[in-house]
Amino acid sequence: MLILVSVLLLSISYYRLSKNVGLNVYYLLGIHIIRIPIEFIIFQLFKHKMLPIEMTFLGWNYDLFFGVTAILFLVFSSLNPRILTSALFKVWNILGICSLLQVVVIGILSSPLPLQTMAFDQPNIAVLQFPYVLLPTIIVPIVILSHFHPLRKAIKVEKW
């Protein structure tokens, strides 16, 4: 739990410090492609009884959708860059953040901790082991930030 709080604080600090850095939106979209193989790894962890079904694409995890649609945004935005300032792109980023936060909450509530309120038959024990501990501590913050930066840029463009 302490790790998640420290990662959250570091992510917020990084987000504030990087406001003036010109990050390439195409690279940030490319980061979301990592969600596709990670989703299949998560599914394998479920099959090995290391996390509950709710954390997979069979449950409440929509990372596969966001990974595939990131590829579509990359392709279509290379043809028409205005897509990156469209309402659809903004909604996609907001829903992507919400989806990630939902999985994080499920992960915490299904972990074998005093907070556990779900998945007692198959708790989330994967994140207690290396390398899977990197998912909530490294991968999730990077993916969340790769939603926030393009969203902020799209909102700034709209204000002009």
Q: Where are the domains of the chain?
A: 27-159
Q: Over pLDDT 70: what percentage of the chain?
A: 84
Residue 9 near residue 90, CB atoms below 8 Å? no
Question: Higher pLDDT residue, 59 or 3?
Answer: 59
Which phi-psi region, left, alpha or beta, contains residue 115 (left: φ > 0; alpha: ψ -120 to 50)? alpha
What pLDDT is stored for residue 160 in this prediction? 45
Mean pLDDT of 113-131: 84
| Average pLDDT, rounded, for the chain | 86
CA distances from 128 to 7, 71, 107, 111 (A): 16, 31, 11, 9
Mean pLDDT of 22-39: 91
Residue 54: pLDDT band (50, 70, 90) is: very high
Residue 143: pLDDT band (50, 70, 90) is: very high
